[in-house]
């Protein structure tokens, strides 16, 4: 693999992440999204398949390693958001349906905001990794292979 090919893979992985986020946003807004379009597990999304697959050759780089934690946290947060959206609204003697729906929506909005914050950290980490690859000499890059 050449450095240019590696950079292209990183760019494709970033695009995959941005597509994933757009589906998560759509789901949050109540749009029916195919469950497979927004995989819950970090190894099942297009970025995760690359990161834990072909991208593994970069595992010795700090900027590559910095991606894993926010990527995992992103999927954990999405799983909470997905489950919270599917959970029925509970009402009771002291909780009206309207109040319960408002509380549920507030929780969903909080989770979505967390997801977007984590996504931004992940995008920043992608960029740092991409910059490290760009700035790497061909000799340094060849040592990774």
Give pLDDT tens digits for 7-51: 998 888 888 888 889 988 998 888 888 777 777 788 888 888 888
How many domains in the chain? Answer: 1
Supply the pLDDT for residue 93: 64
In a 13 Å sphere around the CA of 122, the CA atoms on its Cβ side amount to 27
Residue 38 to residues 10, 72, 96, 106, Cα–Cα distance (Å)? 19, 14, 32, 22
Q: Note the pTM of the prediction, 2 decimals.
A: 0.85
Supply the pLDDT for residue 71: 94
Widest Cα–Cα separation across the chain: 70
E strands, the chain, are: none
Domain extent at residue 8? 3-144
Residue 63 exposed, middle or buried by CB count within 10 Å (0-12, 13-18, 19+)? middle
According to DSSP, residue 90 is labeled P
Give pLDDT tens digits for 44-98.
Answer: 888 888 889 888 899 999 999 999 999 999 999 999 998 888 888 777 666 677 8
């Amino acid at each position: 693999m050449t450095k240019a090919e590696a950079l292209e893979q990183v760019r494709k992985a970033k695009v995959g992440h941005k597509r994933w986020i757009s589906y998560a946003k759509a789901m949050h807004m109540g749009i029916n999204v195919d469950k497979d379009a927004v995989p819950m597990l970090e190894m099942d999304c297009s970025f995760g398949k690359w990161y834990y697959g072909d991208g593994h050759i970069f595992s010795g780089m700090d900027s590559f390693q910095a991606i894993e934690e926010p990527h995992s946290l992103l999927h954990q947060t999405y799983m909470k958001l997905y489950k919270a959206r599917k959970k029925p609204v509970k009402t009771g003697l002291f909780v009206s349906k309207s109040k319960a729906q408002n509380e549920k929506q507030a929780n969903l909005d909080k989770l979505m905001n967390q997801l977007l914050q984590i996504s931004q950290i992940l995008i920043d980490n992608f960029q740092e990794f991409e910059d490290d690859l760009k700035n790497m000499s061909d000799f340094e890059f060849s040592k990774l292979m």
